[in-house]
Amino acid sequence: MNPDLTVAEFRAALKEGPEFARELDRGDPLREFRDRFELPSAGGATPIYLVGNSLGPLPLASREAAVREMDRWGTLGVDGWFEDPSWYGLDDRFLGPLSRLVGAHPAEVAIMNGLTVNLHLLLASFYSPTAGRRSILIERPCFPSDRFAVETHLRWHGVDPETDLIEIGPGEDGVLLNESDIERALKERGDRVALILLGGVNFLTGQLLDLPRIVKAARGCGARVGFDLAHAVGNVPLHLHDWDVDFAAWCHYKYVNAGPGAPAGVFVHERHATDRQTLRLGGWWGNDPETRFRMQLDPGFVPRADAGGWQLSCPPVLAMAPLGPALALFDEAGTEPLRAKSVRLTAYLEWLLSPLLNGPDRILTPPDPERRGAQLSIQVEAAAHVQQRLQQEGVIGDFRQPDVLRLAPCPLFNTYHEMWRVAEIFRGALQEES
């Protein structure tokens, strides 16, 4: 199909049947990337892997990179820190591709720890309550770990979450957040808000928030603003520097495909990152490399003048090795072609599923591609049964109690024909229940 069609034109040109799905696959400029992954196989068959929003599959080159570093450890021992390509600069070598993925300068990103740990470290820097300004604004539902991080930071500072944790819930439809509700809350109570922390793409509904609009609202009331981008990085276009976001944190095990518990990422805007006066918790890896190894000779903490200044420990080499090749796939495929395929793949699945959903059953994710990434959250009364049938047929999807199925069509490895098959299984399962 013509690659220049708008999404509306693409939708209008869609046709029924598996042959049409195969035709879409033949015309997919990214179709060869699928072969660059080990897709989990159940009993020898290749299942349809629709949980890249939860744990991305293993890139072949990432397996090689991990084994290579294990071998180098075996043969080089401590010299691995110095022999080219040295472990010493391992994470720094990944900052170029990572910064391109999130729309940042290399000096604004760092790779370290897990996502929740990083949220704590960034809250330590960016949440400085005063008597008059001490509230934190989050969304509802908020990912539990983020809520726990925020709640405990409030308590850490002696602030009562009952009064100073502001939660903005969904609008009239009971599902999606309205940016206008956030703006209204900030107009009414903004002079008390110290920090706004929101998920860029909501974990449950797949809704993509208008991030620059939220930054603007934050600036309007003098609050700082950070985003949890766990479901956004590697999924939707990001321009964190230009949007003037204060900070962001994300993991690399979802759409970035860097492996379970892979070291996570942070963004700190250069206006804070290059300012050595920005308060942060210190560790030797965040210290200026010029004096890092002077140890007892130079005992004072001098932070790096970049986002690396938030690092605490030396990089976990074996856990980090898969990230390089995983990021390289994004550079190779190109963020624009990936987004174009993502939009089409998701729109196609939506087009196939929508006619099957009646009564209370519905797609919770916004229909507008500008307001979502590669995820459809489908609320179905018979969700448990549909999930069971999908599993029996080799479709790996995700079921959230009590009735939401989350399917993530990822442009690096999913196909249009897979979408067609999933919809057919869905149709069969719903018919069995009616």
Ligand X SMILES: Cc1ncc(COP(=O)(O)O)c(C=O)c1O
Contact residues for ligand X (CB under 6 A)?
114-116, 143, 145-146, 199, 203, 228, 230-231, 251
Q: How far is the CB of 116 from ligand X (least distance, A)?
A: 3
Of the CA atoms within 13 Å of residue 264, those in its CB half-sphere come to 22
Q: How far is the CB of 229 from ligand X (least distance, A)?
A: 8
Closer Cβ to ligand X, 69 or 146, answer by number: 146
Q: How far is the CB of 51 from ligand X (least distance, A)?
A: 11
Phi, psi at 25, each rounded to 5°: -65, -40
Question: Residue for token digits 């000779």?
Answer: 297
> What is the per-residue DSSP string for 30-41?
TGGGGGGEE---
Closer Cβ to ligand X, 24 or 327, answer by number: 327
Contact 347, 11 (CB under 8 A): yes
Q: How far is the CB of 257 from ligand X (least distance, A)?
A: 14
> How big is the chain, counted in residues?
434
Q: How far is the CB of 217 from ligand X (least distance, A)?
A: 21
Contact 1, 348 (CB under 8 A): no
Question: Residue for token digits 């009646």?
Answer: 358
Q: How many Cβ atoms from other residues are within 10 Å of residue 340's Cβ?
A: 18
Closer Cβ to ligand X, 125 or 415, answer by number: 125
CA distance linking residue 163 with residue 145, whole number of Å: 20
Closer Cβ to ligand X, 253 or 420, answer by number: 253
Q: How far is the CB of 149 from ligand X (least distance, A)?
A: 9
Q: How far is the CB of 203 from ligand X (least distance, A)?
A: 4
Contact 24, 368 (CB under 8 A): no
Closer Cβ to ligand X, 114 or 283, answer by number: 114
Closer Cβ to ligand X, 30 or 258, answer by number: 258
Closer Cβ to ligand X, 116 or 257, answer by number: 116
Query: What is the gyration radius of the CA atoms in the chain, in angstroms?
Result: 23
Residues 6+ apart with CB under 8 A from 167: 137, 138, 139, 140, 142
Closer Cβ to ligand X, 101 or 423, answer by number: 101
Closer Cβ to ligand X, 62 or 287, answer by number: 62
Q: How far is the CB of 12 from ligand X (least distance, A)?
A: 34
User: Is omega for the bond preceding 263 within 30 degrees of 0, making it cis?
Assistant: no
Smallest CA-to-CA distance from 130 within 223, 256, 46 is with 223
Of the CA atoms within 13 Å of residue 279, those in its CB half-sphere come to 6
Q: How far is the CB of 199 from ligand X (least distance, A)?
A: 5
Closer Cβ to ligand X, 265 or 325, answer by number: 265
Q: Is the alpha carbon torsion for 132, 272, 249, 346 positive or negative?
A: positive
Question: Residue for token digits 């492996």?
Answer: 259
Phi, psi at 359, each rounded to 5°: 55, -130
Closer Cβ to ligand X, 113 or 387, answer by number: 113
Query: Hey, what are 392's tokens?
Result: 């029996």
- Name the residue with the smallest CB distance to ligand X: 116
> What is the per-residue DSSP string for 291-334?
HHTTGGGS-S--B-SSGGGG--S---HHHHTTHHHHHHHHHHH-
**Beta strand 165-168 with 109-112: parallel, antiparallel or unpaired?**
unpaired
Q: How far is the CB of 143 from ligand X (least distance, A)?
A: 4
- Which residues are registered as beta bridge partners of 249? 228, 266
Phi, psi at 42, each rounded to 5°: -105, 115
Q: How far is the CB of 239 from ligand X (least distance, A)?
A: 20
